[in-house]
Amino acid sequence: MEEILIEEFNYPLPDERIAKYPLANRDQSKLLVYRDGQVSEDQFFHIGEYLAPGSLLIYNNTRVIQARLVFHKKVVSEYRGTTEHAEPLNSEATLGARIEIFCLEPLAPHDYQLSLGSTEGCTWKCMIGNAKKWKSGALSQPVILPSGKEVRLWAEKGEQTGNTFSVRFSWEGASVSFAEILDAVGELPIPPYLNRKTEESDKTTYQTVYSRIKGSVAAPTAGLHFTDNVLNGLRERGVKTAEVTLHVGAGTFQPVKVADANQHTMHTEIIAVPKATIQTIIENLGHIVAVGTTSMRTLESLYFLGEQFYTRHMTQDIGHLTYSVSQFEPYEKDHALSTQEALQAIVDHLEQIGEEVLHAETQIMIKPGYIFHVVDQLITNFHQPKSTLLLLVSAFVGGDWHRIYDYALANDFRFLSYGDSSILFRRSPAFEL
């Protein structure tokens, strides 16, 4: 596999160009337009002017959960002086060490909705801050629900895998769900590059207006610019909309730290796509607009899932199907199946097993040289230097990402999650600068 030097996808991003807060009016953000190798700008509320009537706009309906929990590990205080005049050595000895648990994805039950809806406890893959202070034993804290009811939450640390741990959560009160626990005591995990603490306003501004399926630990930020007025205007112009679900993981914040991007390991993400949405995509091929890189990864993964279903059907292999796309599957062989055939294979399979929604996992890596099968236009924000998202953008515009980012830097665009937006028209990967 040809080497991809991540240093070639670097650019200077001063801290002052990172938007720390969103605009008061979401749709007033600047909009960069890239089409046919040319760059121009507009404002986001004019987005409909760049979408042809009959286009299908597909967005990620995931909702960010308050996934960060803070406990204090009780410790035996050390004291100065005599027993009669004991004095704590420090405040931590009195309060206990601060342990921060960041819930990444459910392990048992593995399904997001089942885990968040559980009233009997659940286990999650978590990152743990100050883990060395949590050697053994359960952590606990009281949780005050909006009703005024108090329950006690326990956390028990399990097996470590890399830099993550399994954590078992349990609580008193059989009628209380884990989602209610998180809503009551959890903290919304805003991106670390904002370099600030979560504020009450983030609970609203760090959610898209169409978010409804809880599970992400990061927002699909390309959608933050949409308002009800913008969506209504698009429908009036004849633009159709559809939903997919990809629960965004913390890996979306991680820059590539190896010289060759091919050596970077993509995080596995959970997707869910209704059969009706796949049928609508088939009917509108050639006019598919993805809102954000999460929607892009979901839609492009559908092709390879469909190819798997089609191949196994043709070979009469009716054994267990692994509903997953590996990181380099797009590059491992020629993919001669048409997009329509691949998507129809998914529909046929779902009908055969009597399911209305495709649930799968994807580790897909979209990088320069990738051949796009589904998406024709991409609405997206401006991404971190040396990130897999920048690789995706480069693949989509035929390597022309420098022109886009140079323009944005020179014309006062705001960067990253709360920043400005762009609409990109696909170019062939064979495009040469």
Say if residue 10 is in the same domain as residue 130.
no
Give domain status of residue 192, yes or no.
Answer: no
Question: Which of 223, 248, 274 lies closest to 378, judged by CA?
Answer: 223
Say if residue 86 is in the same domain as residue 172.
yes
Residue reference for tokens 């699909």: 220
Give domain status of residue 114, yes or no.
Answer: yes
Say if residue 167 is in the same domain as residue 211.
no
Say if residue 177 is in the same domain as residue 267.
no
Per cent of the chain over pLDDT 90 is 80
User: Helix axis angle, 275-283 relative to 339-353, nearest 10°?
Assistant: 150
pLDDT (mean) for 61-76: 86
Would you call 261 helix, strand, or coil by DSSP?
Answer: helix
Say if residue 219 is in the same domain as residue 313.
yes
Residue 367, number of CB atoms within 10 A of its CB = 22
Query: Residue 286's pLDDT is what?
Result: 96
Query: Cis ω on the peptide bond leading into residue 109 (within 30° of 0)?
Result: yes
Say if residue 262 is in the same domain as residue 120.
no
Give domain status of residue 76, yes or no.
Answer: yes
Residue 383 amino acid letter: H
Residue 100 has pLDDT above 50, yes or no: yes
Give the CATH number for residue 411.
3.40.1780.10
Say if residue 274 is in the same domain as residue 413.
yes
Q: Looking at 187, 212, 236, which one is the last position of a domain?
A: 187
pTM of the model: 0.90
Say if residue 183 is in the same domain as residue 229.
no
Instruction: For residues 141 and 190, give the distance between their C-alpha atoms in angstroms, rounded to a whole number.
Output: 23
Give domain status of residue 326, yes or no.
Answer: yes
Query: Residue 2's pLDDT is what?
Result: 87
Q: Looking at 187, 218, 237, which one is the last position of a domain?
A: 187
Say if residue 318 is in the same domain as residue 415.
yes
Instruction: For residues 241 and 376, give the distance between their C-alpha atoms in angstroms, rounded to a whole number.
Output: 15
pLDDT (mean) for 7-11: 96
| Domain extent for 325 | 6-64+204-425
Give domain status of residue 196, yes or no.
Answer: no
The residues, any chain, with a CB within 8 Å of residue 316's CB and separated by 6 or more, are none
Q: Looking at 187, 221, 244, which one is the last position of a domain?
A: 187
The Cβ-side half-sphere exposure at 229, using a 13 Å CA radius, reads 8
Q: In this predicted model, which residue has the larger pLDDT, 96 or 94?
A: 96
Backbone dihedral angles phi then psi of residue 234, each to the nearest 5 degrees: -65, -40
Give domain status of residue 223, yes or no.
Answer: yes
Give domain status of residue 193, yes or no.
Answer: no
Would you call 274 helix, strand, or coil by DSSP?
Answer: strand
Say if residue 407 is in the same domain as residue 344.
yes
pLDDT (mean) for 320-346: 91
Say if residue 320 is in the same domain as residue 252.
yes
Q: What is the pLDDT of residues 367-412, one digit of tens each?
A: 999 999 999 999 999 999 999 999 999 999 999 999 999 999 999 9
Q: What is the pLDDT of residues 200-234, one digit of tens each?
A: 999 999 999 999 999 999 999 999 999 999 999 99
Query: pLDDT category, 88, cuts 50, 70, 90?
Result: very low
Give domain status of residue 198, yes or no.
Answer: no
C-alpha torsion 362→123→292→56, nearest 10: 70
Say if residue 171 is in the same domain as residue 260.
no
Q: Give the gyration radius of the chain's Cα atoms.
A: 23
Domain count, the chain: 2
Strands 357-362 and 269-274: antiparallel
Q: Find the range with the poorest average confidence among 187-196, 310-319, 352-361.
A: 310-319
